[in-house]
């Protein structure tokens, strides 16, 4: 399959006529942008809990791109990544529509947690969700997390032709990879092209569990990928680089989909991971990394020290982390407190990796 031929499947999305866009009870005219909020329920203090969809409706007909972030509230740099894309687009020059939910889980974001406070559920395992009150015996279905997932499924995923779900490191961790879902048939080629067009060096094939946003999109015959670029706590210089990388990847995909004019950047040399290892501390304390963000996507040697942790009271070293094999580093920790069993480093096994030219 040639490079040009592999683009054909994604171009078979149904086109929209250049007319008003309907979402909920709101009508959006061509060449305009609007925020549309959907009520999930009433919080104890009397405020509405809402999910807001940012709509950029182009002056010309085209496809609908869905952008989603913060299903995990601790991964908040992704909000800014989506913001840069949404605010940087001129609706008058856009063909098609962007639907963006930068804040999928407001309560988890408020508490900087992965799961929703209250029902303690991981939203990205409960798509497409259920409306509030739709109880099912022996299940959590109908709870708060499922209701938020239901709103996002109805107003974002179902209305999109393609879904980009942003995940990255929480404060103190940075990740650099594309989560490419394992799938078959025509969608496999489309998903592969999305991953290649991001130009992110590391691609991680993931047989995603049921309930993820991407898995739900695939069930609707819509391609999608997870984008993980960066994290918080590494300083302004690196965060700006990660923001720019995410933005350029999305714009490249939009050019490919015919939503923006201009030459799309061709895929770069990327690495498809096979095996991988996740390193977690056996003891908590104060962590000192021995690798820096510029090594994300680069090779590390077997037994190469990645970081160590010392007891902040006795000052003695209580944990050391080393690469388990010759591999490719794609997640790192920042300097500071680390909890027992907390995400730390991810290393792809070099012998099982495949270079994509």
Tens-place pLDDT, residues 154-207: 999 999 999 999 999 999 999 999 999 999 888 999 999 999 999 999 999 999
* Mean pLDDT for all residues in the chain: 91
| Structure letter (DSSP) for residue 281 | -
**pLDDT given at position 132:** 75
Per CATH, is 13-268 categorized as 3.40.630.10? Answer: yes
Token pair 């497409």 in the structure block, residue: 128
pLDDT digit string, tens, across residues 251-300 = 999 999 999 999 988 878 999 998 899 999 999 999 999 999 999 999 99
What residues does CATH 2.40.50.100 cover in the chain?
275-356
Contact 271, 353 (CB under 8 A): yes
What pLDDT does residue 7 have? 30
SS (H, E, C) 181-213: ECCCCHHHHHHHHHHHHCCCCEEEEECCCCCCH
Span(s) in the chain for CATH 3.40.630.10: 13-268
The per-residue pLDDT for 154 is: 97
Judge contact between 349 and 276, C-beta under 8 A: yes
Contact 18, 92 (CB under 8 A): no
Distance CA 32, CA 194 (A): 26
pLDDT of residue 61: 95
SS3 131: coil
Class of domain 275-356: mainly beta
Using alpha carbons, select from 65, 66, 68, 56 the residue that is nearest to residue 94: 56
Q: Is 68 helix (H, G, I), strand (E, B) or coil?
A: strand
What residues contact 44, with CB distance under 8 A and at least 6 apart?
Answer: none
pTM recorded for the entire structure: 0.92
User: DSSP assignment of 316-357, as one string?
Assistant: -EEEEEE-SSSEEEEEEE-SEEE-TT---EEEEEGGG-EEE-
pLDDT < 70: residue spans in the chain? 1-18, 133-142
Q: What is the pLDDT of residue 10?
A: 39
For residues 253 and 28, give the distance between their C-alpha atoms in angstroms, rounded to a whole number: 24
């Amino acid at each position: 399959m040639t490079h040009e031929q592999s683009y054909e499947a994604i171009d078979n999305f149904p086109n929209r006529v250049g007319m008003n866009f309907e979402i909920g009870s709101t009508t959006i005219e061509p060449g305009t942008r609007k925020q549309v909020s959907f009520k999930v329920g009433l919080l104890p203090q009397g405020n509405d809990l809402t999910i807001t969809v940012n709509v950029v409706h182009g002056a010309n007909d085209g496809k609908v791109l869905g952008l989603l972030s913060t299903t995990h509230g601790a991964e908040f740099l992704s909000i800014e990544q989506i913001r840069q894309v949404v605010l940087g687009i001129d609706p008058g020059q856009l063909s098609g529509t962007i639907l963006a939910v930068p804040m999928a889980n407001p309560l988890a974001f408020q508490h900087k947690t992965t799961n929703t406070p209250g029902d303690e559920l991981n939203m990205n395992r409960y798509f497409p969700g259920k409306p509030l009150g739709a109880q099912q015996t022996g299940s959590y279905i109908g709870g708060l997390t499922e209701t938020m997932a239901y709103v996002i499924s109805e107003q974002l995923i179902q209305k999109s032709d393609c879904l980009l779900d942003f995940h990255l490191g929480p404060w103190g961790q940075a990740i650099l990879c594309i989560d490419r879902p394992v799938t078959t048939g025509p969608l496999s080629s489309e998903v592969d092209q999305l991953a290649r067009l991001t130009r992110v060096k590391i691609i991680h094939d993931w047989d995603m569990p049921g309930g993820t946003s991407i898995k739900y999109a695939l069930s609707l015959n819509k391609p999608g990928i997870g984008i993980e670029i960066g994290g918080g706590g590494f300083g302004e210089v690196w965060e700006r680089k990660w923001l720019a990388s995410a933005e350029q990847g999305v714009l490249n995909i939009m050019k490919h989909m015919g939503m923006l004019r201009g030459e799309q950047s061709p895929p770069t040399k990327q690495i498809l991971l096979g095996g991988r290892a996740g390193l977690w501390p056996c003891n908590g304390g104060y962590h000192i990394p021995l690798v820096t963000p510029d090594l994300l996507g680069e090779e590390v040697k077997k037994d190469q020290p990645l970081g160590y942790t010392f007891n902040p009271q006795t000052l003695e070293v209580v944990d050391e982390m080393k690469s388990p094999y010759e591999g490719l580093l794609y997640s790192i920790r920042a300097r500071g407190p680390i909890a027992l069993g907390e995400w730390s480093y991810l290393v792809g096994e070099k012998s099982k990796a495949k270079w994509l030219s």
